[in-house]
Structure 1
Amino acid sequence: MRTYPIETYLDNLAARIPAPGGGASAGLHLAQAAALLGMVARYSDGEKYAEHARSITAIRETADNLREWALSLSEEDIEAFGGVGAAYGLPRSTAEEKAARKQAIAGALVEAGRVPAKVVAAAEAAVGLAEQLLPIGNRNVVTDVAAAADAARAAATTARVNVEVNLAGISDEVERSELLEAIATVDDIALRADKVTAAVREVIAR
């Protein structure tokens, strides 16, 4: 997917095919957030920002790694969703086949839920980078910090509903608890992202 032209990706997203869908788009929201943070960090280089050079370098490197991870998560989501479709397509003519199919579906749903759960964790990291970069980054590109925060927010909230939709078919309490715990931070992530955006709007309104 990462080698698609953007138009091809959007055509596939709009098509009546199982994937890519919302889960993959959550990963791309995250990738855009990370890319924007990397860009702001690169504009915050030089003598003027020497006092914060170490922090800015760390932010840039972390954002670049996060961008790569986000793309991988988008691809993992497509693969996991394919696994769910394959499980639902298993035969169910006999009691044994029905039992095997049920078990396969449950396992596939857990895997499909774990991918967006990882996106939530990565989105939290992206918002943290935006919080760090906001007070020390180049003011000429400060709006891109807000754009990054908003993109990370979208990644987290989109990923949450993609975890929740899989929870409906998961009965194992340990696995359910694992996924519920992974998305418990989303409201806080959204609040923190909103605060970054509000702070940027105050800066540009002066």
Structure 2
Amino acid sequence: MTQDAAQAITTFGDSTLQGYLDELAAKVPAPGGGAVAALHAAQGAALVAMVARYTTRAKDAENRPVIDRIILAADIARDRALALADADAAAFTAVGLAYKMAKETEAQQAARTEAITAALLGAARVPAAVVSAADEVVSLATELLPIGNPNVVTDIGAAADAARSAAASSQLNIAINVASLGVGAGAEFAPVLTQIDEVIARADALHYDVIAAITG
């Protein structure tokens, strides 16, 4: 991967959609599934914010304090998830560099092993943070559904689906990094794996609540 390509994948917020997709399709280590998961969460948060902003009509005045809070929280979650896409690319790069370290002497081998372990932990912690962002998106979408503008209710369901994808994809990325760490190190992520199951279940439930709202 060239230096220019490495720079491109660490600034998703400044990339064009075409540029991002070109990098994603290219034969380069990153971006990959981890960045995609983070961007799913960012898109879900953006959809929540959009629906909330469409729920600022005169008839929504009673719920305006809640709506304003949801808008702020969703905007923050979007920025956080976007930053995690950059963090995932950086973490994946760190793993690759650790594996390339010299291993000719015992000291070098020990240093390499330590660096690989640290890099894998870092690479697993990024998708764990994405799960937290996805969890928040589902929570905000769930809170918004009963009071959101019904004309854009399907976007609440789309937000839940995006968050679900973020959590499910993060599960894969956590698993592959933890698999190389051993039981002790991987135990750190047990609560996150439980959280993923909960996020997926809540997102699925919200999806069908939106279907029910549409069909009556």
TM-score tier by shorter-chain length is: over 0.9
Query: C-alpha distance in 2, partners of 1:39/1:12?
Result: 28
Please say if residues 120 and 183 of structure 1, whose CA atoms lie closer than 8 Å, have aligned partners that are also in contact.
no
Scaled by the length of structure 2, what TM-score is found? 0.92
Find the counterpart in structure 1 of residue 133 from structure 2: 122
Does 1:143 find its partner at 2:147? no
Identity of aligned residues (%): 46
Scaled by the length of structure 1, what TM-score is found? 0.97
Alignment deviations for residues 154-189 of structure 1 (CA, whole Å, 9 cap, x no partner): 00111111011100111372x422222222111111
Structure 2 residues without counterparts, runs of 5 or longer: 1-11
1:172–1:108 Cα change, 3 Å: farther
Query: C-alpha distance in 2, partners of 1:85/1:44?
Result: 46
Find the counterpart in structure 1 of residue 211 from structure 2: 201
Structure 1 residues without counterparts, runs of 5 or longer: none
Alignment deviations for residues 98-152 of structure 1 (CA, whole Å, 9 cap, x no partner): 1211111011000110000001111111100010000000000000000000000
Find the counterpart in structure 2 of residue 110 from structure 1: 121
- Cα RMSD of the aligned pairs, angstroms, is 1.0
Instruction: Choose the corresponding residue for 1:176, options 186, 195, 199.
Output: 186
One-letter code aligned to 1:81: F
Per-residue deviation, 1:202: 1.2
Please say if residues 179 and 186 of structure 2, whose CA atoms lie closer than 8 Å, have aligned partners that are also in contact.
no
Instruction: Choose the corresponding residue for 1:93, options 104, 119, 127.
Output: 104
Runs of 4+ in 1 over 2 A off after TM superposition: none
Does 1:4 find its partner at 2:15? yes
Find the counterpart in structure 1 of residue 28 from structure 2: 17
